[in-house]
Amino acid sequence: MTNKKGFLVLSIIAFLIITFLVLNKFVFVVNFDQIINNFMLAHQYPSVTSFMLSITKILNPIEAVVIFIIFGLFLFLKNRHYFYSFTISTALGTLLPLGIKFLTQIQRPSLLLEQDSSFPSAHATIATVFLLSSIFFLIPLMKNCFSKNIFKIITYVVFPLVAFSRIYLSVHWTSDVLAGIILGFICFIIGKIICCQKKENVL
């Protein structure tokens, strides 16, 4: 529990620092975001762009709900403690980015695909929550080695690619995605801490 709380504090501090730097438009952050964005725009190819559009849609609202239901049903049947932690983490990973976006109102690199506030990346947040939940909850409960290995490959590749696709498609600055990843860690740890405390109280 102590390690979780310590990591949570460090993650929150890191998120607040990035938020402060972004909101105050520090030159090195703005330049870094612009350099990465320009590089991605200069190296976009039709086939890769088409692939990235498909990848990024995996965690659009409807698709994310479907994944949540599949993961949640598996966890509900196998381990209720993991299910409650996963549910709390996912709820936080969905709601917190929306609230922060409303407060920050950062413009996206490009408004062609999406037009709401850019900071932080909600896709990166929920991708991180799903990835961590897969690693710490779902994979340990899988008995079949073949299925487990296939699931590992899929989750280890797909969810990080979702976060990267946001930068490649120029719908998010790199700082948005980094903040989203850190926020995903925060949501996951909070879910684990809450459920650990409830479990200890029951015992």
Q: String of b and e for 68-89 (b: at least 16 CB within 10 Å)?
A: beebbebbeeebeebbbbbbbb
pLDDT digits (tens, 9 = 90+) for 53-99: 999 999 999 999 999 999 999 999 999 999 999 999 999 999 999 99
In this model, does residue 200 exceed pLDDT 60?
no
**Which of the four pLDDT bands, split at 50, 70 and 90, describes residue 5?**
confident
What mean pLDDT value characterizes the chain? 92
pLDDT digits (tens, 9 = 90+) for 28-56: 999 999 999 999 999 989 999 999 999 99
Would you list the domain boundaries of the chain? Answer: 2-31+52-202
| Backbone φ, ψ for residue 185 (5° rounding) | -60, -45
